[in-house]
């Protein structure tokens, strides 16, 4: 038996054992080619990288090949996208390539809830696991504090304007903003799945206890501040974006921004250190940059532009990851992140599992914590073939961008040779390369075929093009994305959304904002119950949010909650500490 055997060891035990042989930070820095002072150690196992120094020194250096990892429409269990990202990094390492992975920092909400950490799994993990999963170097805390500081500024201003006349306000150097309490766009932030805080009343008590109104909380990683961290290219860019955040509207409909409240500078001050990406490593010693957070709807669901700009100067291959399936994560990578960064990808990996494809073919529901039905553990080619329609849809999405898709079949021990052969055949008939990968069970060695296919595809120069022009009216963009990416027959707009579209299209600066669509990740459609490749449906847009600081507007389809809920059997029930050693146990 291998000393690190995922068949008998949980992920946290594998990570704990692997950490005994971690590369020292100085060796990681040397392998990356960092100069003195570009690595900022934070203890023995973690470090931040000074992105400004690195980008300045390497401004004329050649850039590496850029590969995105996306997926089919996942089951609620996920399909191993991060595990595949890390496995591909390890596989390219086995081929002797200089490679860096760029991934997102996990949120405390999923880590302590049902999904668990986002460090990968088996023999394809990012370590050290515990700091990666819990706090890392404090970036999410910075986002939470900057976000809540804006809410403090807004609610305090509402209280003072309610209690004082104009003369009293003027003594404090304030002018009346006439904030409409029913138009407040933001809620408070907390990095847990706290459904009890979704809808709350604040300001109860007397005049000195704040302004009473309906409010609530959202998970920190859904904050526009997190989106700004993901898309900023540097401190100046972040400072400009922070001042454009729209918190509310006044009673005549004018935007109330963080700049109006004079809180934008202090919010940026909270975020200075968070601009530097964090350096970790795979259990095989390849460098991983961790920056920005998950939540692939509102908060764009990408690792940061800064991390990618740094990595692409340090490595020959950069493997990044987009949240959820290609309909959400890759579409935003393609039309938002790449447009903002100026980087053009050379290939994209679409992660698929036989299990998920059977579900899309009509298999029984897959539920976290519940045993899998027998259809998922025994050969069932009829379900699988039908479910591959979902895979083909995602292949077509990637191909519309002009780049080469490589389907990675993330192999499970119950997959049969006939099932694997069927997925490969249908993927290749749809115009994709394919590879079977057992990186979970074998690490980089199990990802050799995938790494070879990716390395070959990445050498080809492709004709990469955006789906839409920023000159295109918002309504047309939404209809184009709905038809070309989701497969909808049309779009309907609620009155609220129509009103917002008119406002956006009537404002020259807002017309140039990108489009960040929000819908469920569990279906190509807006309805999570519609599996496979739904046909004959219409996308309903009920509202449009404005994330002017992040640089996009957010059309919302269906019922999307910015605060997930904690399930009945959350992960925190199994997390504990060995009081003799101080080591955390039970993470997954």
Q: 101 - beta bridge partners? A: 288, 319
Please write down the long-range contacts of 373-382, taking CB distance under 8 Å and 24 or more positions apart: 376/414, 377/414, 378/414, 379/416, 379/418, 379/419, 381/418, 381/419, 381/422
Task: Quote the DSSP letter at residue 176.
Answer: -
For the whole model, what pTM was predicted?
Answer: 0.94
Catalytic residue among 81, 404, 477, 500: 81
Residue bearing tokens 């935003």? 332
Q: Residue 541 in contact with residue 555, Cβ under 8 Å? A: yes
pLDDT at 1: 32
Cα-based angle 263, 138, 548 (whole degrees, multiple of 5): 40
Catalytic residue among 176, 399, 412, 464: 412
Q: Is 334 a catalytic residue?
A: no
pLDDT at 4: 85
**Alpha carbons within 13 A on the beta-carbon side of 547:** 26
pLDDT at 296: 62
Q: Is 580 a catalytic residue?
A: no
pLDDT at 6: 87
Catalytic residue among 47, 153, 296, 455: 296
293-318 pLDDT tens trace: 877 666 688 999 999 999 999 999 99
Q: Is 81 a catalytic residue?
A: yes
Task: Quote the DSSP letter at residue 365.
Answer: P
Alpha carbon distance 121, 83 (integer Å): 6
Q: Is 251 a catalytic residue?
A: no
Catalytic residue among 330, 440, 493, 537: 440
Catalytic residue among 70, 75, 82, 83: 83
Strand, coil or helix: 209: helix
pLDDT at 8: 84
Q: Is 412 a catalytic residue?
A: yes
Domains and CATH numbers, the chain: 70-100+315-459 (3.40.50.300), 139-261 (3.30.1510.10), 474-557 (3.10.410.10)
Query: pLDDT under 50 in the chain at which residues?
Result: 1
Q: How far is CA 453 from CA 79, 408, 433, in A?
A: 20, 10, 7
Catalytic residue among 186, 188, 270, 324: 324
Structure tokens at 525: 């459609």
Catalytic residue among 104, 332, 404, 475: 104
Q: Is 352 a catalytic residue?
A: no
């Amino acid at each position: 038996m291998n000393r690190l055997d995922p068949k008998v060891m949980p992920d946290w035990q594998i990570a704990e054992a692997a950490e005994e042989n971690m590369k020292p930070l100085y060796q990681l820095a040397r392998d990356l080619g960092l100069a003195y002072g570009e690595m900022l150690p934070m203890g023995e196992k973690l470090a931040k990288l000074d992105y400004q120094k690195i980008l300045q020194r390497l401004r004329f250096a050649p850039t590496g090949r850029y590969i995105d990892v996306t997926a089919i429409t996942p089951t609620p269990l996920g399909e191993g996208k991060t595990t595949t990202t890390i496995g591909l990094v390890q596989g390219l390492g086995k081929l002797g390539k200089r490679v860096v992975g760029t991934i997102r920092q996990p949120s405390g909400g999923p880590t302590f809830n049902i999904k668990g950490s986002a460090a990968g799994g088996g023999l394809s993990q990012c370590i050290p696991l515990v700091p990666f999963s819990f706090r890392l170097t404090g970036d999410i805390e910075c986002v939470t504090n900057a976000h809540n500081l804006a809410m403090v500024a807004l609610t305090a201003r509402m209280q003072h304007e309610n209690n004082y006349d104009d003369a009293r306000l003027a003594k404090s150097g304030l002018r009346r903003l006439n904030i409409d309490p029913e138009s407040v766009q933001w809620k408070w932030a907390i990095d847990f799945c706290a459904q009890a805080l979704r809808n709350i009343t604040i300001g109860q008590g007397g005049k000195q206890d704040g302004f009473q109104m309906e409010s609530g909380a959202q998970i920190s990683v859904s904050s526009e501040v997190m989106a700004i961290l993901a898309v900023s290219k540097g401190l100046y860019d972040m400072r400009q974006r922070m001042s454009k955040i729209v918190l509310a509207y006044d009673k005549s409909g004018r935007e109330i921004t963080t700049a109006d409240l004079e809180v934008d500078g202090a919010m940026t001050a909270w975020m200075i250190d968070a601009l530097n990406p964090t350096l970790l490593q795979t259990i095989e010693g390849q460098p991983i940059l961790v920056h920005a957070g998950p939540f692939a709807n509102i908060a764009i669901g990408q690792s940061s532009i800064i991390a990618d700009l740094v990595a692409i100067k340090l490595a020959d291959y950069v493997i990044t990851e987009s949240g959820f399936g290609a309909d959400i994560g890759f579409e935003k990578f393609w039309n938002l992140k790449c447009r903002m960064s100026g980087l053009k990808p050379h290939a994209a990996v679409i992660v698929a599992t036989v299990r998920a494809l059977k579900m899309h073919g009509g298999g029984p529901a897959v539920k976290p914590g519940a045993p899998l039905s027998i259809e998922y553990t025994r050969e069932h080619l009829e379900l699988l073939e039908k479910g591959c329609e979902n895979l083909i849809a995602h292949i077509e999405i990637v191909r519309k961008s002009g780049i080469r898709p490589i389907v990675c079949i993330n192999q499970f021990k119950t997959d049969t040779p006939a099932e694997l052969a069927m997925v490969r055949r249908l993927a290749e008939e749809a115009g994709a390369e394919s590879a079977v990968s057992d990186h979970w069970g074998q690490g980089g060695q199990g990802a050799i075929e995938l790494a070879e296919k990716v390395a070959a595809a990445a050498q080809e120069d492709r004709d990469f093009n955006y789906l839409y022009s920023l000159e295109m009216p918002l309504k047309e963009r939404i209809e184009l994305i709905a038809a070309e990416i989701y497969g909808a027959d049309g779009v309907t707009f609620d009155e609220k959304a129509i009103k917002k579209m008119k406002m956006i299209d009537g404002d020259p600066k807002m017309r140039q904002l990108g489009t960040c669509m929000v819908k469920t990740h569990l279906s190509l459609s807006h309805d999570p119950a519609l599996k496979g490749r739904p046909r004959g449906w219409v996308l309903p847009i009920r509202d449009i949010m404005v994330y002017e600081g992040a640089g996009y507007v957010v059309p919302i389809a269906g019922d999307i909650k910015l605060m997930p809920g904690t399930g009945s059997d959350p992960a925190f029930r199994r997390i504990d500490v060995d009081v003799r050693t101080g080591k955390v146990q039970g993470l997954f």
